[in-house]
Amino acid sequence: HEADTNRTDLMTITRFVLNEQSKYPESRGDFTILLSHIVLGCKFVCSAVSKAGLAKLIGLAGDTNVQGEEQKKLDVLSNEVFVKALISSGRTCLLVSEEIEDAIFVPSSHRGKYVVVFDPLDGSSNIDCGVSIGTIFGIYMVKDESEVTLEDALQPGNRMLAAGYCMYGSSCTFVLSTGNGVNGFTLDPSLGEFILTHPNIKIPTKGKIYSVNEGNAKNWDEPTTKYVEKCKFPQDGLPPKSLRYIGSMVADIHRTLLYGGIFMYPADKKSPHGKLRLLYEVFPMSFFMEQAGGQAFTGKQRALDLNPKKLHERSPIFLGSYDDIEQMIELYAASK
């Protein structure tokens, strides 16, 4: 009967977050307002992505369309939309975007208490061929509202209040954790609303899929090499794992969350820190992987305990099912 109820009793993302926040008597609705601005940004990007082929939004920045207007590249456009939405929310004080070298200090007229780190459109290599891409974000609280500093953006992941992503795929899916489990919402295009479709997501404790760019294998370290060898030629009588790799972190993580398994972007000889960015890729994904019952490991330690030194620093990362990551942790321990 639940399906029936859902059809007439719609749990929108705003209603869901309002419900959650009402458990905290001190809550004044600031978080809900901030989130509704992020959601608006995601809806805009979703619409732009789906029209990209038609509107010739893709292509080189500076191209002109048939009307002679300048066209912006999708990632440039997405970044502008999020920056403006976040500032106009009046609830942020400091923003870090993958697209911008320096952090943005929000003008005092619009200043609030939240710090937002985000990658407005991740998976750039997949934009021009219509493969799923996404937005990733994480939210912190400023330490002292009267004195905002760069340090506020360099907090360890374990201080995140909330993290999420929006995947622009066959449907538009918004996955959110406010530190109290993980919930998934799907955009109903006719309503323009995200509706709760995946309540309380838990990642399977063990998975049958591994996800990695194997083209880098010649430069991998020993534990990564051993792990992937085990996936293909298991010695424990289990069948081999399947390989799935989209090359869009949001899509690879979304599948890992729902089906279980392991996603890795390890360090290698050419990229000793891996590829993915700590603040707005590794931390948010690690945050809700743990919230869903999985683990996030860097090859040395729990990812969320890292203390960032620079805004755009990178970190190796292994994310996924509890048992699969545990096996990786054991391989690293044995290689010391």
Nearer to Mg ion, 122 or 193 (CB): 122
Q: Is 149 an interacting residue with respect to ligand AHM (CB under 6 A)?
A: no
- End-to-end CA, the chain: 54
> For ligand AHM, which is the closer residue by CB, 5 or 125?
125
* Site stretch for ligand AHM (CB under 6 A), options 117-125, 141-149, 169-177, 200-208: 117-125
Span from 121-129, 183-191, 219-227, 298-306 in contact with ligand AHM (CB under 6 A) = 121-129
Sites of contact with Mg ion (CB under 5 A): 119, 122
Nearer to ligand AHM, 112 or 294 (CB): 294
Distance CA 302, CA 313 (A): 17
Helix crossing, 13-21 with 30-55: angle to 10°? 160
CB atoms within 10 A of CB 86: 26
Provide the H-helix boundaries in the chain. 2-8, 13-21, 30-55, 74-88, 222-232, 249-259, 283-291, 322-335
| CB of residue 36 to ligand AHM, shortest distance in Å | 26
Q: 218-257: which residues touch ligand AHM (CB under 6 A)?
A: 247-249, 252
Q: Which is nearer to ligand AHM, 111 or 255 (CB)?
A: 255
Is residue 275 within the footprint of ligand AHM (CB under 6 A)? yes
Q: Which does 197 bind (CB under 5 to 8 A by kind): Mg ion, ligand AHM, none?
A: none
Cβ distance to ligand AHM smaller for residue 16 or 118: 118
Query: How many residues interact with ligand AHM (rule CB under 6 A)?
Result: 12
Q: Which residues on neighbouring strands pair with residue 263, listed in sequence order? A: 211, 319
Residues in the chain: 336
Give the residues lining the site for ligand AHM (CB under 6 A): 98, 122-125, 213, 247-249, 252, 265, 275
